[in-house]
Amino acid sequence: MPRLGADRRHEVRFTLNGRPVEGEAEPRMLLTDFLRHVLGRTGTHVGCEHGVCGACTVQIDGAPARACLTLAVQVEGAEIRTVEGLAPAPDRLSVLQESFRAHHGLQCGFCTPGILMSLDELLSRRPDASEDDIRHQLSGHLCRCTGYAPIMKAALDAARRLRGEGETAADA
């Protein structure tokens, strides 16, 4: 890794949701701040800045990661995906997003981007993920609104649909 001057800004380039992006960051700048305030992609949220709540979860080279525990300069050259990259088109939702809507898997929606990024990674890596797998993946996220039950329903339904086993049906 190249040496970086603590007080200097450095050019950081990476791929964000399939497109090249670049900006300047001091070495200490967090990836969350870089995404949100340098690049203006505010979909990734900050709930604790100490790695517990999961709201800031993004995918770095395909793996879920806490953007609040990552420095912007660390992702030089990486492939990053954020919640802004999930929908297939601006006016359409992905299967996972659609299930969240159908099952009321969100209320304030502040925890949601991180949860979607974690589940998206799980379901693309393990289409046959079991209820336990999903629960385990979600255990790294805090949601204060939903009580989790609707999130579990949404995730299970999305998994089913992604496996081609039936349509989203709202629970009520």
Partner 1 sequence: MELAGQTWVGQSVPRVEDAALLTGRGRFIDDLATRPGTLEAAILRSPHGHAEIRAIDVEKARAARGVVAVLTGRDVQALTSSMVVGVKAPLECWPIATDRVRYVGEPVAIVVATNRYLAEDAMDLIEVEYGALPAVIDPLAALEADAPVIHPSLGRNLASDRSFRYGEPEAAFAAAPHRVEIAVRYPRNSCTPIECYGVVAEYDPGEDSYDVLANFQGPFSIHAVISRALKVPGNRLRLRTPPDSGGSFGVKQGVFPYIVLMAVAARVAGAPVKWIEDRLENLAGAVSATNRATRLAAAVERDGRITALDWDQVEDCGAHLRAPEPATLYRMHGNMTGAYAVRNVLIRNRVVLTNKTPTGLNRGFGGPQVYFALERLVQRIALELGLDPLDVIRANLVPTAAFPYKTATGAILDSGDYLGSMEAALLEGGHAELLRRRDAARAEGRLYGIGYTAVVEPSVSNMGYITAVLQPAERKKAGPKNGAQATATVAVDPVGSVTVHVASVPQGQGHRTVLGQVVADVLGLRPSDIRVATDMDTVKDAWSIASGNYASRFAPAVAGAAHLAATRLRDRIARVAAGQLNVRPEDIVFRGGRIGSASNPENAVPFTRVAAATHWAPGTLPEGLEHAIRETVFWTPPELAAPTEADEVNSSLCHGFIFDYCGVEVDRVTGEVRIDRYVTMHDCGRILHPGMVAGQVTGGFAHALGAALYEEYSYGADGSFQSGTFADYLVPTVMEVPEPILLHRETRSPVTPLGAKGVGEGNCMSTPVCIANAVADAMGLADVTLPLVPAVLASHLHPAETAPKGRPAATAPALSGARQLFGEGTAEVAAPAQTVWDMLLDPQTLQTVIPGAHGVEKVSDTHFKADVTLGVGPVKGRYRAEIHLADLVPPRSVTLSGETSGALGFGSGRGFITLTETEGRTILGYRYEAAIGGKVASVGGRLLDGAARFVIGQFFASLARHAGGQAGESRPGVFARVRRLFGGAP
The residue ranges that bind ligand FES (CB under 6 A) are 46-49, 51-56, 66, 68, 106-112, 143-146
Min. distance of Cβ 134 from partner 1 in angstroms? 9
Looking only at the bridges linking them, the beta strands covering 79-81 and 10-16 are: parallel
Q: Which stretch binds partner 1 (CB under 8 A): 8-16, 59-67, 119-127, 164-172?
A: 164-172
Judged by DSSP in three states, 136 sits in helix
Interface of this chain with partner 1, residues 46 to 105, rule: CB under 8 A: 46-50, 52-53, 55, 82-84, 86-87, 90, 93, 97, 100-102, 104
Count of residues binding partner 1 (CB under 8 A)? 57
Q: Which of 89, 152, 80, 166 is nearest to 115 (CA)?
A: 152
Question: Could you say which residues in the range 119-148 bind partner 1, by CB under 8 A?
Answer: 135, 138-148
Contact between 170 and partner 1 (CB under 8 A)?
A: yes
Q: Are 25 and 12 in contact (CB under 8 A)?
A: yes
Spatial distance between the Cα atoms of 47 and 33, rounded to a whole number of angstroms: 13
CB of 5 to ligand FES, least distance (A): 26
Buried b (16+ CB within 10 A) or exposed e, 32-62: bbbbbebbebebbbbbebeeebbbbbbbbee
Residue whose CB is less far from ligand FES, 142 or 162? 142
Binding partner at 158 among ligand FES, partner 1, none, C-beta below 5 to 8 Å by kind: none
Instruction: Give the count of beta carbons closer than 10 Å to the beta carbon of residue 6.
Output: 7
Q: Which of residues 3-42 bind partner 1 (CB under 8 A)?
A: 26, 28-29, 36, 41-42
